[in-house]
A and B are shown apart, each in its own frame.
Chain A
Amino acid sequence: MQLRDIAELLNAALLCGEELLDKDVGTVYASDLMSDVLSQVKGHPLLVTGLCNTQVVRTAEMVDIFCVLFVRGKKPDAHTVELARDGMLCLMATDKTMFEVCGILYENGCDG
């Protein structure tokens, strides 16, 4: 599924990385714990998280994740968005909970 379809499904706002919206995402990894992201992520999943700080962007960068979706209405500060822009990452934010987001993505064919 393309990032733009995911954004539409989840009613998510795009914070940066518009040029990546045509990219395909097959798998999803959901966690608030960056330690787990660093130890377990394989491939290039969409990262769904309720944690909202610069280290989310840094973690994504290290493991080659190119899109992060913030849940529960969390919005990162300007510095975090700037960091993501520099690293050519796409950031999105939705008011839905992590449970809702995972349910919707699973129902629409995304794998873990």
Chain B
Amino acid sequence: MDDAVLSLKYHVSPDDFKTAGEASSDVKNKLKKMGLSPEIVRRVAISMYEGEINMVIHAYGGEISVDIGMEAVTIVLKDKGPGIKDIDKAMEAGYSTASERVRSMGFGAGMGLPNMKKYSDEMKIDTTIGVGTTVTLIIRLC
């Protein structure tokens, strides 16, 4: 990882749909102010937001750290949720374990992880059942 120009940390509250997205919104605004290209800002915002929503839906919240470096933006989403049983299945577009309530909020369509992969350059998932999941997303700046 290159030396971070700016390091940010956020706490994501569990099951709180009203505040979900605040962290991603803050990062988006900061990147915009730093003058990064709109396409990069958009990719960071969407992939982080999907991760943030996943934390709210599946994982009783968690912590997000964002390191903005000269070469890349690295987002680490760490939760102490139930873990992902079958990563291959979770990566399939349309596969979801979300509740009816989550679906009624406009999410839970099984696109979270596929979207995070689509909008990032690198994605790594470390998960242990009953312990938690850490998703690392890297979006290169050049």
Contacts and interface: CB of A to CB of B under 8 A. Distances in A.
Interface in A55-72: 55-56, 58-59, 61-64
A21 interface: no
A36 B17 contact: no
B71 interface: no
Contact of B115 (A33, A35, A56, A64): A35
A39 B107 contact: no
Interface residues of A, number: 20
A39 B117 CA distance: 11
Contacts of B109: 33, 35-36
A44 to B, nearest CB: 10
B62 interface: no
Report, as a range, how many residues of chain B touch the other chain.
20 to 34
Interface in B87-127: 105-112, 114-115, 118
Interface in B45-61: 45-46, 49-50, 53
Contact of B49 (A36, A51, A62): A62
Main secondary structure of the interface of B (DSSP, over half): helix
Contacts of B108: 35
A63 B42 contact: yes
A38 B38 contact: no
Interface of A: 32-36, 38-39, 51, 53-56, 58-59, 61-64, 79, 87
17 contacts: A34-B105, A34-B106, A35-B106, A35-B108, A35-B109, A35-B112, A38-B50, A39-B111, A39-B114, A54-B17, A54-B18, A54-B20, A55-B17, A55-B105, A58-B24, A61-B21, A62-B28
